[in-house]
Amino acid sequence: MVEVMKLNNQLYPSDFDVYLFHEGTLYESYKMLGAHILDENDIQGVRFAVWAPNARQVSVVGNFNNWNGTQHKLECLDQSGIWVLFVPELAHGDIYKYEVTGPDGRKELKADPYAFYSELRPETASIIYNLNTFQWQDQKWMEKRVKKDIYHKPMTIYEVHLASWKQKEGGEFYNYQELADELINYAIDNGFTHIELMPVMEHPYDGSWGYQITGYYSATSRYGTPEQLMYFIDRCHQKDIGVILDWVPAHFCKDIHGLGKFDGTALFESADPLRAERPIWGTYSFDYSKPEVVSFLISNALFWMDVYHVDGFRIDAVSSMIYLNHDNPLPVKLKNQYGSGENFEAIEFLKKLNETIFQRFPGALMMAEEATEWPLVTSPTSAGGLGFNYKWNMGWSNDVLKYMMLDINQRPEHHHLLTFSFLYAFSENFVLPFSHDEIVHGKRSLLNKMPGDYWQKFANLRLLFGYLFTHPGKKLLFMGSEFAQFDEWKYQQEMDWMLLDFDAHSTFYRYFKDLNKLYQETSSLWRLDHEPVGFHWIDADNADQSVITFMRKGKRKGDYCIVVCNFSAAVYHKYQIGVPTKGKYFEVFNSDANSYGGSGQLNSTSLNASQISHNNQPYSLEITVPPLGIAIFMKETKKRKRGVSTNGI
Q: Residue 557's domain is classified under what CATH number?
A: 2.60.40.1180
Whether pLDDT at 2 is above 50: no
Report d(CA 77, CA 204) in Å as an integer.
32
562 phi and psi, to 5 degrees? Answer: -105, 130
Active site residue 369: yes
> Residue 50: which domain range?
9-127
Question: Over the stretch 437-490, which tens digit does the pLDDT of each residue have?
Answer: 999 989 999 999 999 999 999 999 999 999 999 999 999 999 999 999 999 999
Least confident of 92-101, 208-217, 442-451, 637-646: 637-646
pLDDT at 358 over 70: yes
Q: Is residue 618 part of a domain?
A: yes
Domain presence at residue 77: yes
Domain presence at residue 627: yes
**290 band by pLDDT with thresholds 50, 70 and 90:** very high
Percent of the chain at pLDDT > 70 equals 97
- 33-39 long-range Cβ contacts below 8 angstroms, 24+ apart: 33/82, 33/113, 33/114, 34/112, 34/113, 34/114, 34/115, 34/116, 34/217, 35/96, 35/112, 35/114, 35/115, 35/116, 35/126, 35/128, 35/129, 37/90, 37/91, 37/92, 37/128, 37/130, 38/11, 38/86
239, part of any domain = no
Give residue 11's pLDDT band: very low, low, confident or very high (50, 70, 90). Answer: confident
Strand ranges across the sheet with 75-76: 34-40, 43-51, 82-88, 75-76
Q: Is residue 59 part of a domain?
A: yes
The CATH number given to whatever domain includes residue 122 is: 2.60.40.10
CA 145 to chain centre: 18
pLDDT at 5 over 80: no
The residue among 97, 127, 157 that closes a domain is 127
Which residues, other chains included, contact 481 with Cβ-Cβ below 8 Å and sequence gap of 6+? 434, 439, 445, 446
Residue 119 in this model has a pLDDT that exceeds 80: yes
Mention every residue, 6+ apart, whose C-beta is less than 8 A from residue 586: 603, 606, 607, 633, 634, 636, 641, 642, 645
Residue-level pLDDT at 472: 98
Q: Can you give the three-state secondary structure of 523-575, one letter per residue?
A: HHHCCCCCCHHHEEEEEEEECCCCEEEEEEECCCCCCEEEEEEECCCCCEEEE
Distances from the Cα of 611 to the Cα of 222, 224, 235, 615, angstroms: 65, 65, 54, 13
**Res. 329 pLDDT band, cuts 50 70 90:** confident
- Return the pLDDT at 419: 97
Q: Is 424 inside any structural domain?
A: no
Q: pLDDT of 71-105, one tens digit each?
A: 999 999 988 999 999 999 999 999 999 999 999 99
CA 250 to chain CA mean position, Å: 14
Which of 189-198, 332-341, 465-474 is predicted least confidently? Answer: 332-341
| Predicted pLDDT of residue 647 | 41
CA distance 205 to 100: 24
Q: Which residues pair with 643 in a beta bridge?
A: none
Q: Measure CA 628 to chain center.
A: 30
In this prediction, residues 149-158 reach a mean pLDDT of: 97
**Of 93, 127, 161, which closes a domain?**
127
Q: Which of 127, 159, 175 is the last residue of a domain?
A: 127
Strands 390-392 and 430-434: parallel
Domain total for the chain? 2
Catalytic residue among 138, 159, 316, 488: 316
Lowest mean pLDDT: which of 223-227, 321-325, 357-361, 437-441? 437-441
Band the pLDDT of 509: cuts 50, 70, 90. very high
Q: Specify if 17 maps to a domain.
A: yes
> What is the rounded distance in angstroms from the CA atom of residue 548 to the CA atom of residue 16?
61
Q: Which amino acid is at 177?
A: Q
For range 146-164, the mean pLDDT: 96
Please check the confidence at residue 181 and state whether its pLDDT lies above 90.
no
Any domain includes 329: no
Catalytic residue among 369, 488, 514, 559: 369
Q: Is the pLDDT of residue 526 over 70?
A: yes
Distance between the two ends of the chain, CA-based, in angstroms?
A: 76
Residue 256 phi/psi, 5° resolution?
-60, -30
What share of the chain in percent tops pLDDT 90?
A: 93
Residues whose CB falls within 8 Å of the CB of residue 557, separated by 6 or more in sequence, listed in order: none
Judge contact between 408 and 569, C-beta under 8 A: yes
Whether pLDDT at 308 is above 50: yes
**pLDDT grade, residue 646 (50/70/90)?**
very low
Closest CA to 486 of 465, 504, 468: 504
pLDDT tens-digit profile of 240-285? 999 999 999 999 999 999 999 999 999 999 999 999 999 899 999 9
